[in-house]
A and B are shown apart, each in its own frame.
Chain A
Amino acid sequence: MTAVVATNQTIIVVGGGISGMTAALEAAETGKQVILLEKRPYLGGRVTQLYKYFPKMCHPTCGQEINQRRIKMNKNLTVITQAEVSNISGGKGDYTVSVTLTPRYVNSNCTACGDCAKAATTEFDDEFNYNLGKRKGVYLPNAMAFPQQYVIDARLIGTPEADAAKAACKYGAIDLDEKEETIELKAGAVVFATGWKPYDANKIQPYGYDRFANVINNVEFERLMDPHGPTGGKLLRPSDGKEAKNIAFIQCAGSRDRNYLKHCSRFCCMASLKQTQYVTEKYGTDGKSTIYYIDIRSIDRFEDFYRNVQADPSVSFIKSKVAKVEQDKDGNPVLHGVNTEGYHRYANTHDLVVLATGMEPSVDFKGLPIKIAVNEEGFIEHDEANGGIFAAGVAADAMDVNRAVQHATAAALRAVQVVNQVAGA
């Protein structure tokens, strides 16, 4: 691990989601030396947790497969997982980046045979499923996980279970003595592709996400559809495991709102439109989706998608910011509000509520050890003064996958410009 070679012509990409992988691959496939750092034990970021993409309704793992193959075949690209940037110093063309590595306790000898997991019993909340399900303390994070290596939860270290897992491994892949370490890497340019986190729906008190089991958020809803997910791909609601057929989607849950996120998160309208089609996919005309919205922002060619959803008889639209959610005696969420198109008051009962929560940057860039331009919403702004530090994807603004990939490709160019200048100098 410590043998990573980096020079001031190296590009460091921080974050191994779709944007980071793209930025790293585009630069590496142009012949640049790239190091890709990822905080989680696997690449792919949030898109790996999605069931389908809009507008094609195709599966994110499909592109993920291609990207992972590109990574496996590319010798210019080094991937380091469980790695976080702890310090950056220097300037454009000459950065020193300190990277803290947390132990995986499993080395590259791992063949993913799964014997270690068989020896483990304790279960923990499964982050990959947004804690909707459980996983063992010795686990492969997901079916597509790259690197394809198991992980041992740090909470198991020092327990007999960890020893049992080690004993079960025939390949010497488990090293329970791994320690956190910090390495220093040189770089000419650093690309932050640190992505986003869903806005904390607990803060949106009128919707009762913290109080009502059948109020979930849009990323959790994705996990219910995934055949690898906690319900095996069934739309079962959390309170009683009943099939949810009548689903409400509340737009701008935490976005466009000075009480929460001031900005429009851009992707959530399309995400909910897409998710209505999950309901239709499951139940046909027996399903019912209702979108409560302020403005439907299906911009550019996504308008076609919106039009198709409007034509779906199981989907209806109510122009309203829902005032509050209550729960009836059967655990059904009841939505209260006013349809502002003509003033119609409603109290609508649904099986499940999906909050279209927005995006906020997953990293507090203002807290970085090196000063860069960050806007009021917390996103990195492009500024000459940022030197050789660039944002890719959602680190720069709320956007959808397609745009994030475009943006990341552009960010790769910015980084390439820097290292080419270093090489030419």
Chain B
Amino acid sequence: MAKEYSYYPGCSSQKGASSSNLEKSVETLCEELDIKLNPIPDWNCCGASIGYAGGGELPRMTLSARNIALSEKHHPDQDIVATCAACWLNTREVNERLLHNPKLKEETNIALQAVKLEFSGKKKVRHMVEVLIEDVGYDALAAKVKKPLEGLKIAGYVGCQTNRPFGIDGESFENPMYLDKMVETLGGEALTKYEKKVACCSGALMFSEPEKGQALVKDIIESAYDNGANMIVTPCPLCQANVEIYQDDINARYKTNFNMPVMYYSQLMDVAFGRNAKDAALDGNIIQSMELRKIADK
């Protein structure tokens, strides 16, 4: 029987949005692993990490609270799962902050009366990666591998928000290993000494402070090259976008020749599990990994 979850896709995963390839590849992955993601009906934006300029504490709390309340109403027995780092972080953080602050919870629920919802805080808010590690397990993932990612040297870029402050699987904030373990599970070579594993890509500040942001991304890519990587893999859509799509700008600014593919873990899994390039949404990447495509096309 399929494992079912109350799914919070988030704005970037929508059709035609910046991480629609993550959405697609996760969809494929769920088919493979017999996982059913039930979208939270009429979900709204979580406020991301930059919402604070316009939104105060309480309005921002209510955003996620509404999503949680919707999930509580429609999927009472299912954990909430998000694929986007910021979506997961915000939802989980709001869940915990409301539980620890009765006043805030009370006010949030007053606001939620406007949509006839109530936040009770009984939900577990999880990241898709947690589902894979804890509910599926590395062994089960390994068992699914049909086309091992042989010869691929992969820098696991965990970034910030799928890491801090909650962590995945109790791992270290400074040196989480889960991406590396996944890569190895899929038959690839994990570059475990990759120094920029948890460095910041500048997040939303890439938009407002592009020079500062690109300086950070430059180091992230450079370190991957120094470690001999064929590609970077990440669980975070904003990390993926920031590291992938500005490489032209960075090359212009720093006189570099970066052309480093930045993939999602879900895309790697789809390919390793034997799915084709389309199912793995490889077309969704601006910089293609020929090596990965070759395996997908095998």
Touch test A–B (CB under 8 Å): yes
Is there a chain A Cβ closer than 8 Å to B184's Cβ?
Answer: no
Q: Kindly state whether residue B172 has any CB partner on chain A within 8 Å.
A: yes
B173 / chain A contacts, CB cutoff of 8 Å: 205-206
B222 in the interface (beta carbon within 8 A) = no
In the complex, the chain B residue whose C-beta lies closest to that of A324 is B174
- Residues of the B chain whose Cβ atoms lie less than 8 Å from the Cβ of A208: 174-175
User: Is the CB–CB distance between B195 and A205 below 8 Å?
Assistant: no
Q: Which residues of B contact A175 (CB under 8 A)?
A: none
Asked whether, in the complex, the Cβ of B175 is within 8 Å of the Cβ of A211, the reply is yes
- CB neighbours of A206 from chain B (8 A): 173-174
Residues of A within 8 A of B174 (CB): 205-206, 208, 324
Provide the B171-194 mask, 1 if CB < 8 A to any CB of A, else 0: 011110000000000000000000
A208 to B195, CA, bound (A): 12
Question: In the complex, A5→B173 CA distance in Å?
Answer: 54
Query: Does A29 make an interface contact (CB < 8 A)?
Result: no
Residue of B whose beta carbon sits closest to that of A204: B174
Q: How far is the CA of A324 from the CA of B172 in the complex (A)?
A: 13
User: Binary interface profile of A, 199-232, with partner B (CB < 8 Å = 1, else 0)?
Assistant: 0000001101011000000000000000000000
Determine the residue in chain B with the shortest Cβ distance to A203: B172
Complex interface: chain A residues within 8 A of B172 (CB) = 205
Closest to B172 in A: A205
A28, B296: Cα distance in complex, Å = 79
Nearest CB of B to A241, in Å: 21
Nearest Cβ distance between residue B198 and chain A, in whole angstroms?
Answer: 10
Main secondary structure of the interface of A (DSSP, over half): mixed
Cβ–Cβ < 8 Å partners of A326 in chain B: 195
For residue B173, which residue of chain A has the nearest CB?
Answer: A205
Residues from chain A with Cβ under 8 Å of B175 in the complex: 205, 208, 210-211
Residue in A closest to B174 when the chains form the complex, CB atoms: A205
The docked-state distance in angstroms from the alpha carbon of A113 to that of B2 is 70
Q: Restricting to A312-365, which residues have a CB under 8 Å from any CB of B?
A: 324, 326
Chain B residue with minimal CB distance to A210? B175
Residue of B nearest to A211 (CB): B175
Q: Which residues of B (210-241) have their CB < 8 Å from a CB of A?
A: none
Residue from the set A205, A206, A210 with the largest chain B CB neighbour count within 10 Å: A205
Distance A210 CA – B175 CA, assembled complex (angstroms) = 10
- Least CB separation from A326: chain B residue: B195
Query: Closest CB-CB distance, B212 to chain A, in whole Å?
Result: 15
What per-residue 1/0 map shows which CB atoms of A361-374 lie under 8 Å from chain B? 00000000000000
Residues of B within 8 A of A324 (CB): 174
Cα A179 to Cα B23 in complex, Å, equals 63
- CA–CA, A211 and B175, complex, Å: 9
Chain B, residues 40-54, CB within 8 Å of chain A (1/0): the string is: 000000000000000
Give bound CA distance, A210 to B192, whole Å. Answer: 13
Bound Cα distance from A75 to B174, whole angstroms: 55
Question: Once the chains are docked, how many angstroms separate the CA of A223 from the CA of B287?
Answer: 52
- In the complex, residue of chain A having the shortest beta-carbon distance to the beta carbon of B195: A326
What does the 1/0 interface line of B143-176 toward A look like (CB < 8 Å)?
0000000000000000000000000000011110
A158 to B26, CA, bound (A): 55
B216 CB → nearest A CB, Å: 14
Once bound together, how far apart are the Cα atoms of A69 and B174, in whole Å? Answer: 49
Minimum CB–CB distance from B298 to chain A (whole Å) comes to: 36
Q: What is the distance, in angstroms, from A7's C-beta to the closest C-beta of chain B?
A: 50
CA distance A205 to B173 in the complex (A): 7
A324 vs B175: C-alpha distance when bound (angstroms): 12
Report which residue of B172, B173, B174, B175 has the largest number of chain A beta carbons within 10 angstroms of its beta carbon: B174
Closest Cβ of chain A to B197, distance in Å, is: 11
Chain B residues in 8 Å Cβ range of A210: 175
CB-CB nearest in chain B for A206: B174
Instruction: Quote the shortest CB–CB distance from A120 to chain B (angstroms).
Output: 37
Residue of A nearest to B226 (CB): A329
Inter-chain contacts of B195 with A (CB < 8 A): 326
In the complex, what distance in Å separates the CA atom of A260 from the CA atom of B174? 15
CA distance A335 to B219 in the complex (A): 18
- Whole-angstrom distance between the Cβ of A151 and the nearest chain B Cβ: 36
Give A259's nearest chain B residue, CB to CB: B173
Complex Cα gap A208–B175 (Å) = 9
Chain A 182-212 interface residues, beta-carbon cutoff 8 Å to B: 205-206, 208, 210-211
A211 CA / B195 CA spacing, docked (Å): 11
- Shortest B200–chain A CB gap in Å is 13
Q: Mark B253-288, 1 if CB is under 8 A from A, else 0.
A: 000000000000000000000000000000000000
What is the bound-complex CA distance between A208 and B174, given in angstroms?
8
| A205 to B174 Cα, complex, angstroms | 6
B296 to chain A, nearest CB (A): 34
With the chains together, A216 CA to B175 CA distance in Å?
18
With A and B bound together, what is the CA distance between A144 and B173 in angstroms? 43
**Please, how many angstroms separate the alpha-carbon atoms of A252 and B175 in the complex?**
21
| Cβ of A207 to closest chain B Cβ, rounded Å | 9
A208 to B173 alpha-carbon distance, docked (Å):
11
Task: Enumerate chain B residues within 8 angstroms of A205, measured Cβ to Cβ.
Answer: 172-175
Q: How far is the CB of B191 from chain A (nearest CB, A)?
A: 14
CA–CA, A268 and B250, complex, Å = 46
Minimal beta-carbon separation of B92 from chain A (angstroms)? 19
Q: Chain B residues near A211 (CB, 8 Å)?
A: 175
- A interface residue numbers (CB < 8 A to B): 205-206, 208, 210-211, 324, 326
Give 7 pairs: A residue, B residue, CB < 8 Å, sorted on A: A205-B172, A205-B174, A205-B175, A206-B174, A208-B175, A211-B175, A324-B174
Q: Known pairs A205-B174, A205-B175; list 10 more (Cβ under 8 Å).
A: A205-B172, A205-B173, A206-B173, A206-B174, A208-B174, A208-B175, A210-B175, A211-B175, A324-B174, A326-B195
Give 7 closest A-B pairs by Cβ, nearest first: A205-B174, A205-B172, A206-B174, A205-B175, A205-B173, A211-B175, A326-B195
